[in-house]
Amino acid sequence: MSNCDKNNFDMSELDSSLPAAAAALSAEERAGLVNALKDKLQSFSAQHVDILETLSPNVRKRVEVLREIQSQHDELEAKFQEEKAVLEAKYQKLYQPLYTKRYEIVNGVTEVGVTDASGQGDTKSDEAIGVPEFWLTAMKTNEVLAEEITERDEEALKFLKDIKSSRIDNPKGFKLEFFFDANPFFKNTVLSKTYHMIDEDEPILEKAIGTQIEWNSGKCLTQKVMKKKPKKGSKNAKPIMKTEKCDSFFNFFSPPEVPDDEDEIDEEEAEELQNLMEQDYDIGSTIRDKIIPHAVSWFTGEAVEGDDIDMVDDDGNEDDDDEDEDEDDEDDDEDDDDEEEAVKSKKPSVPKRNVKGHAPEGQSGERPPECKQHGRTFLLVAWPVIHW
């Protein structure tokens, strides 16, 4: 297939197969998406020029044909991403009435309590409105979020009425909104967190923006006041008051900031920033992808069982991990024996212990996001394998 045929393929042969909903993107936008994929592939191709030069002419020709096939695949993939975005938008609209009904029941707007034969409402249901502590319980059941919620946070999260997620287009990303009843902790009725993505499909995170919480006096959950006794003999007998930052779920609304000047931080600080932003994105995506769509299952605990099933490997065999642990234990025993032998002998060397490595992040199917700011890349992840 010639380059001319390849260029015609991306538009003429596929436009007829697109659903009518895909017309939301203009031909110019579709062409731009395809060209972006081509540019990405070309940037990688420069790294493989040396490999091609080592091939014989016949093999190189076959590889060139394979590259054209790969290009056609990428054009199809671009079409898939277009249709996927349209489909997601369609179903987000279909979900909304269900989320509204859930909100009404949870907050007692709609009564669905069971009544007995006498017409009296169920006694236990009458004692409470809606489903108390619904969102707090759902969030605490999730392992990722449970680590962020402190006992002090729980009192404030009992006032949480609803959580919503929405997709934003300019810039690309998503927004989380937390709706609260009037409470003694802060004045805000809505706390939001917005994630700006350079590329949603990779994904590449540019930055996150949170709401500034208007804490009531003495009620700030993200800080604690420390009292320090004055030194003996000091003229000032009053204790010294010191404010320190403390662990709290509400730190989520004050995300780590990427400095404008990349020279302001060294490698160690960049690595720490990377970890913080990765953790922040993990919390946000967990709320968006797990808690909001499946809140009832997290409230009842059923979602935990589903998460446990996901941890089973692709072969559906949980025993493999146990076997690996047994093998590791045997290796440790052998290492211990080796160490004992080394002590008994007069050799000065001690056998080295095997260090178990950790699996790279993103093995579960979703890679953690990259974070880019002014030339420096944070949250570095491996690029997907490119097939030529």
Q: What confidence tens digit (pLDDT) does each residue in 167-187 have?
A: 988 888 999 999 999 999 999
Token readout for 99 is 């989320």
What Cα–Cα distance (Å) separates residue 369 from each residue in 326, 376, 377?
35, 14, 11
CA distance 368 to 197: 12
* Percent above pLDDT 70 for the chain: 59
Comparing CA positions, the residue from 338, 360, 335, 355 lying closest to residue 347 is 338
Q: What is the DSSP letter of 279?
A: H
CA distance 43 to 35: 12
Tens of pLDDT, residue by residue over 182-214, are 999 999 999 999 999 886 566 678 889 999 999
Higher per-residue pLDDT: 266 or 86? 86
pTM of the predicted structure, to 2 decimals: 0.64
Query: Do residues 374 and 352 lie in contact, with contact meaning Cβ atoms separated by under 8 Å?
Result: no
From the number of C-beta atoms within 10 Å of its C-beta (0-12, 13-18, 19+), residue 94 rates as exposed
Q: How far is CA 261 from its chain centroid?
A: 26
Question: What is the identity of the amino acid at 154?
Answer: E
Give the highest mean pLDDT range of 11-15, 56-60, 114-118, 383-387.
Answer: 56-60
